[in-house]
Amino acid sequence: MFTIKVTTVSGNEVIESGYGIQWSPWAHKLNYTDHNNCGDHLTLQPGDKAEIINSAGKTVAHYVNDSK
């Protein structure tokens, strides 16, 4: 399982847990399977950043919507 931490451009944080994470760069979207085994997604707005953190607490991926 991974932790998905999104920090918005305004400084708010959204934290989700998920499996099977997929990044869609053209849509700025993280698709993942949640703890209920349902598909879900988070869309990054311009300036938002996402970190994927593994069960050992290590950040294993970063995603940013840097579109203007």
Q: What is the pLDDT of residue 14?
A: 94
Model confidence, pTM: 0.86
The C-alpha torsion from 12 through 30 and 53 to 5, rounded to 10°, is: 10
- Domain containing 18: what range? 2-64
Structure tokens at 10: 């305004």
Q: What is the pLDDT of residue 35?
A: 78
Number of domains forming the structure of the chain:
1
Nearest alpha-carbon partner for 65 in 41, 53, 49, 51: 49
pLDDT in tens, the chain (68 residues): 999 999 999 999 999 999 899 999 999 999 999 878 888 999 999 999 999 999 999 999 999 999 87
CATH code of 21's domain: 2.30.30
